[in-house]
Amino acid sequence: MQDYQHHWKDGTPVHLPLGKIVCIGRNYAEHALELNNPVPDEPLLFIKPATAAVHITRPIDLPRDQGSVHFETELAVLIGRPLTHASASEAEAAILGYGLALDLTLRDVQSELKKKGQPWERAKAFDGACPLSPFVAAEKLGRDNIHFNLDIDGHRQQTGNTRDMLNPIVPLIAHISSHFTLLPGDVILTGTPKGVGPLQPGQTLSLELEDLLVVGTKVV
């Protein structure tokens, strides 16, 4: 949405515009299996527009009359340098920060689109479809063992770790940049672990990135 602005954990603005949100589907094998999807041979990419982004603390207003809305908790990577056909070292140097995101999905709409062999944007790119947390500076985290989780109403729902990704972060960024340019302020969502499901009004969500970041929101 137009009022979205990247921020650091301490509330300081990140003075970079959000251009696009590049997402990877089925980057955790167990998530692909839970939805009866095949594991792709190469990264499965799609894009959410900047208008899909909202601050994660903003209450989630479920779209009306479009069926089930699923949550998918993901590690978000903030890009700090332009990348085109980047090497692994260039991709690593471009990682400015890490945060958390919800890839909200109109699951019934997506299922119908998949049956017809059509793109997923109507199910993935609607306004508010990408709640984003503040970011933690990249140097405060490792890269190959980043842990995150989601609790709903106090119960653990999703647990993820970057070591379980089919496409690790740095090769993934390099791969994306070989297909289209990444710009400072762009965000990459790196896939969701198993445990996705429908949101219900009244639920309280709490997301945690190791011991560095805890954010929450509520479904209205």
Question: What is the domain-level CATH number for residue 207?
Answer: 3.90.850.10
Number of independent structural domains in the chain = 1
Kindly state whether residue 7 falls inside one of the protein's structural domains. Answer: no
Evaluate whether residue 36 is within a structural domain: yes
Residue 108 lies in a domain: yes
Instruction: Please tell me the pTM assigned to this model.
Output: 0.95
What span, in angstroms and rounded, lies between the C-alpha atoms of 190 and 169? 7
Give CA separation, 189 vs 76, 79, 155, in Å: 5, 11, 24
Is residue 4 included in any domain, yes or no?
A: no
Q: Please say if the pLDDT value at position 17 is more than 60.
A: yes
Residue 7 pairs in a beta bridge with: 13
pLDDT (0 to 100) of residue 22: 98
Cα–Cα dist 81/140, whole Å: 18
What tokens does 147 get? 């842990």
Q: Which pLDDT band holds residue 1 (cuts at 50, 70, 90)?
A: very low
The answer to the question of residue 126 being in a domain is: yes
On whether residue 6 sits in a domain, the answer given is no
Q: Can you give the residue range of the structural domain that contains 124?
A: 20-218
The answer to whether 128 and 51 have CB atoms below 8 angstroms apart is: no
